[in-house]
Amino acid sequence: MPSRRELANAIRALSMDAVQKAKSGHPGAPMGMADIAEVLWNDFLQHNPSNPHWANRDRFILSNGHASMLLYSLLHLSGYDLSMEDIKQFRQLHSKTAGHPEYGYAPGIETTTGPLGMGISNAVGMALAEKILAAQFNRDGHEIVDHYTYVFLGDGCLMEGISHESCSLAGTWGLGKLIAFYDDNSISIDGNVKGWFTDNTPKRFESYGWHVIRNVDGHNSEEIRQATIEARSVNDKPSLICCKTIIGYGAPQAGSHDCHGSPLGEAGITAARAKLGWGYPPFEIPNEIYSGWNAVKKGAAAETAWEQKFAAYKAAYPELAVEFERRLQKKLPQGWKAKVAAAIQDADIKAEKIATRKASQNAIEAYASILPELLGGSADLTGSNLTNWSSSKDITKSFLEGNYIHYGVREFGMSAIINGITLHGGFIPYGGTFFMFSDYARNAVRMAALMGVQSIFVYTHDSIGLGEDGPTHQAVEQAATMRYIPRMSVWRPCDTVESLVAWKAAIERTHGPTSLVFSRQGVPHQKRTAEQIENISRGGYVLHDTADNKIDLIIISTGTEIDLAIKAAEILTDKNVKVRVVSMPSTDVFDAQDEAYRKSVLPPEVKARVAVEAAVTDYWRKYVGLEGTVLGIDTFGESGPAEDVYRHFGLTVENLVKVAENLIF
């Protein structure tokens, strides 16, 4: 049987060989953390390489994602469907082994970790999801949800501000099954971190409410094992295991930033092989090493044992078991379509003039009662975002049967935690903040889109309609920039009915995130036919049309500006201008429609077009063409009552009529 060090050296060898072949990558951290990884994966990690999606697996997150060859080596060695050829294709086009771990590229990768601090924040979400799901479904003697979330992280993760946000919450929530291994090697890209990172990390985490294990030798397997046992024994606090390591362990450049992000070079690899006693050629792993790592049989046995446990649970609690399976399979409950139809019909009959943030709350009220997996929250703006509902129950350390999370003033951390909850499974999470503060959270929002996961981001106070709070809080460029994110679906509804459809779309969209953008100010209800209501789900549709289908002008708008478009159309119609108004609450959904439908809404022969939105104008030019006009704002906002601010920027019915007349006469 190979020694622990020999097993760990397999990681070191694969990492330095793959980086060298690619002529690009980070060999230092994989070589430094190899001993920690060997102990965790061989002694503690509950996983099944033959079924990477087993529900009760432990989650392993490599937050210091530049160390990706560590994870790829672990997956390959332990028996996942990741071949040696895949290892050799490290950092190559269309390879499973990308420069940083990419969710969906290779089995066993739980989340994409490139931006530092994102992985630990996702892990907080995963650990929270495990804890809530366990509280909702476990019964005495039937613990079907019972797994850990393990994280590797380094100095960079701890320097990034997002780690402060998420780790603070992890302590507040008492996430006892979250265990993080801190790779304390004192090195970042610029060199020794003592010049720019002098935090007392153990005290910092103790102040968060974590259990901290100090001064573990990251190259002493027994110390690592004992520290892990201790961490697993603490049930009411997350644990940070501080492991002192040598970056690039075994290489001539060990202990230096020279091996952080650069290949070791042929001479360096030769010397490292000699130092480590690894006498095998590049990319060659002896059979006894593979045998020492292979987790296929052990993983299959663990899953089989869990399946037996679940069968007993199903016999004892059949309804709970069916619900558990439904939620993990992302299937909507029976009665969902009827619930949506009834809510839309009711809103259409009531025809209320309310802010769309209130319409959003009404949608949550309508849908949440049938969706126990809907897990809401806000970054300290619940009363402004209106993200709660009548049956909201706050989740706390001591009460986990709830459905609402208070994230505090942590937009970035909230968004990354939501991604982690989504990735874990069993929930449809959403979180709210002001639209302006989507910029604080942008990287986590982008990561949701990059991974294609169903996170729902609720943004209120969507424009200069915010009024007196002024330009610091008035979103101007945010709608356009959000729409430019690939795979992000953005909805900016104009009234109660469109808000219900927007929420329906977000809940049904399992292959990507949705941003729901709502107003602070009240907006009138728009009258629609049944066909028009049906067409809202297509992202853009004809809201107001001419009597004879002859069109002189098309006005395209969204959100709160739809009312301006409708009123302007009425005035222009009285002046014998044949006007069509197109409501486009979701440009990406409209763009995804077939060409015939898009042309039926925006006939190409009608060149006179005006788009109006209280935001930057360039985004809308693809819909109006060279001959059209966009009425919007290409500067920052102003402070004052909303009506005065709209008037200041020319976003009035009178000015829209004038712009239209100048275009067609």
DSSP 8-state symbol, 194: G
Q: Answer yes or no: do 354 and 429 share one domain.
A: yes
Instruction: Report in angstroms the alpha-carbon separations of 601 from 65, 179, 544, 554, 585.
Output: 45, 54, 11, 9, 14
**Residue where a domain terminates, one of 523, 555, 587:** 523
Is 559 inside any structural domain? yes
Q: Answer yes or no: do 544 and 512 share one domain.
A: no
Is 376 inside any structural domain? yes
Using only C-alpha atoms, what is the Rg of the chain? 28
Q: Answer yes or no: do 267 and 379 share one domain.
A: no
Q: Give the Cα separation of 82 and 74 in Å (integer).
A: 10
Q: Which two tokens stand for residue 435?
A: 């639209």
What does DSSP say about strands 456-460 and 178-184: parallel, antiparallel, or unpaired?
A: unpaired
HSE-CB of 636 using CA atoms within 13 angstroms: 9
Q: Answer yes or no: do 600 and 451 share one domain.
A: no
Is 166 inside any structural domain? yes
Asked if residues 416 and 386 have their Cβ atoms less than 8 Å apart, the reply is no
- Is there a binding annotation on residue 544? no
CATH number, domain of 421, equals 3.40.50.970
- Is there a binding annotation on residue 520? yes
pLDDT averages per 10-residue partition of the chain, 665 residues = 97 98 98 98 98 98 98 98 98 98 98 98 98 98 98 98 98 98 97 96 98 98 98 98 98 96 97 98 98 98 98 98 98 98 98 98 98 98 98 97 97 98 98 98 98 98 93 96 98 98 98 98 97 98 94 98 98 97 98 98 97 98 96 97 96 98 92
Asked if residues 389 and 378 have their Cβ atoms less than 8 Å apart, the reply is no
Q: Give the pLDDT score at 665.
A: 86
Expressed as residue numbers, the domain containing 281 is: 4-300
DSSP 8-state symbol, 399: -
Q: Give the Cα separation of 410 and 399 in Å (integer).
A: 21
CATH number, domain of 608, equals 3.40.50.920
Q: Answer yes or no: do 281 and 392 share one domain.
A: no
Q: Give the pLDDT score at 192.
A: 96
Q: Answer yes or no: do 481 and 586 share one domain.
A: no
At 251, the amino acid letter reads: A
At 223, the amino acid letter reads: E
Place of tokens 């986990």: 400
Is 611 inside any structural domain? yes
Specify whether 110 is catalytic.
no
- Is there a binding annotation on residue 470? no
- Is there a binding annotation on residue 47? no
- Is there a binding annotation on residue 437? yes
- CB 525: neighbour CB atoms within 10 A? 18
Phi and psi, residue 465, nearest 5°: -65, -10
- Is there a binding annotation on residue 384? yes
Instruction: Report in angstroms the alpha-carbon separations of 469 from 81, 305, 349, 559, 642.
Output: 54, 58, 34, 20, 10
Is 346 inside any structural domain? yes
Instruction: Report in angstroms the alpha-carbon separations of 199 from 62, 168, 260, 507.
Output: 22, 15, 21, 42
Q: Where are the alpha helices (DSSP H) in 517-641?
A: 530-535, 562-574, 587-591, 595-601, 621-624
Q: Answer yes or no: do 495 and 558 share one domain.
A: no
Q: Answer yes or no: do 374 and 271 share one domain.
A: no
Number of domains in the chain: 3
Q: Give the pLDDT score at 609.
A: 98
Is 474 inside any structural domain? yes
Q: What is the DSSP string of 87-154?
A: HHTTT-TT-SS-SS--TTTSTT--S---STTHHHHHHHHHHHHHHHHHHHH-BTTB------EEEEEE
Q: Answer yes or no: do 516 and 541 share one domain.
A: no
Is 22 inside any structural domain? yes
- Is there a binding annotation on residue 187? yes
Q: Answer yes or no: do 501 and 581 share one domain.
A: no
Is 154 inside any structural domain? yes
**Residue where a domain terminates, one of 523, 545, 561:** 523
- Is there a binding annotation on residue 469? yes
**Residue where a domain terminates, one of 274, 300, 326:** 300
Q: Give the Cα separation of 443 and 439 in Å (integer).
A: 8
HSE-CB of 58 using CA atoms within 13 angstroms: 20
Q: Answer yes or no: do 423 and 513 share one domain.
A: yes
Q: Answer yes or no: do 27 and 153 share one domain.
A: yes
Q: Does an H or E element contain 331, and which?
A: none
Per annotation, catalytic residue among 102, 373, 411, 498:
411
- Is there a binding annotation on residue 410? no
At 619, the amino acid letter reads: Y
